[in-house]
Structures are given as C-alpha cells and as structure tokens.
Amino acid sequence: MISIRGLAVFWMIALLTGANLGETKRNSFKEPDVPFPPACPTAQNLAAICHYGQGRPRYPDSFFPRSGSSHFRRRGNAINRLESWYSVCCSGQVAQQSSLILCCAQQAWKQALSQFCTEEYSTMTLAYECCEDRGDARWVCFDSELPNPDYSPTPGYTAPAVPLEPGFSFNANAC
C-alpha cells in the first residue's frame, strides 16, 4: 500500500522532472497538445481503433487552461466524442457483424468531424481549414497530415472512464 507521503513525493518528482505520466504533453508555449485530426478508419487501422481505444488520450476539461485555447478544446471534444462513438462500433450489436464495424467507424468519424466543423463555425474565430471544404474534399483534407494514422496507443496511458457521448446513431443501410 502506498502512503500519502510516498504518493506526494512521487508527484513532486514527476512534476519537477517533467515526467510523462500518461497525459498528452503540452508544448513550451503552454498550449495544450491535442494531436488532430484523427485518421479515417480503414481496414488497416480498424483493429487498433477497436482494441487500443483505452490507450489513446482523452481530453477532459481539466486538461485545458481555464481561459483561451478554445480551438484546442473543440479539437479535444471532437476526439473524445469520436472515441466514444468508436466504442459503439466496436462492441454490442454492431460488433457482432464484423463487416459492419468499419462502416460504423467511418460514419462515426464523419459525423464527429462534421459536428466539429459546426462548432468551429459557431465561434468568432477562424475555422479549421478542412471545415471550409465540402463533400469528399473535406474528408480528404481531414485524412491528410495525420499525427497518428495507425491509432497507436500512448505507452503507459489508460483513458479515464467517460460517459458515452450522445448524438451518434449507426445507419447499417448506408453501408
């Protein structure tokens, strides 16, 4: 059993050394590091999407500074939403039919990024560049210059439990 004092010493050392304790690192300008955009689900990355979901970062409100960084917060919210919706695709009734998992994940990806763009345009700031595109051009833009195309987990990280994000309904007829 770890004592309170031992835990306090651990955190002090971690804070002083800048140890990565599973949270996404922030850059030297104190801007949150939210790797964005997420890659489009493919047959090549689908297994990682489904099996390593708890190993990829989530962005709770406490991750962000109290003021500013609203564009990073919207990106973090989009990632959180998407990871939540991926869990719908990778479990339950959808996962019982493996041919539908990829279709579901792609629908979740498009819907999460569409909602992100809607949120981007609801502010007085410049919208994310891919949101300016329409149709397939938007999806091609979002699926370029990806920080984590393989959906690799972050070593040593376990995502906190978060509630399922509302708003996603898989349409099997669109597959």
| Residue among 75, 44, 38 nearest 56 (CA) | 38
Q: Output the pLDDT for position 156.
A: 95
The more confidently predicted of residues 101 and 19 is 101
Q: Percentage of residues in the chain with pLDDT exceeding 70?
A: 83
pLDDT digits over 19-68, tens only? 444 443 434 456 778 999 999 999 999 999 999 999 999 998 888 887 77
Q: Output the pLDDT for position 17.
A: 39
Contact at 8 Å (CB) between 45 and 149?
yes
Largest Cα separation within the chain, whole Å, is 57
| Residue among 39, 133, 120 nearest 77 (CA) | 120
Domains of the chain by residue range:
4-174
The more confidently predicted of residues 141 and 125 is 141
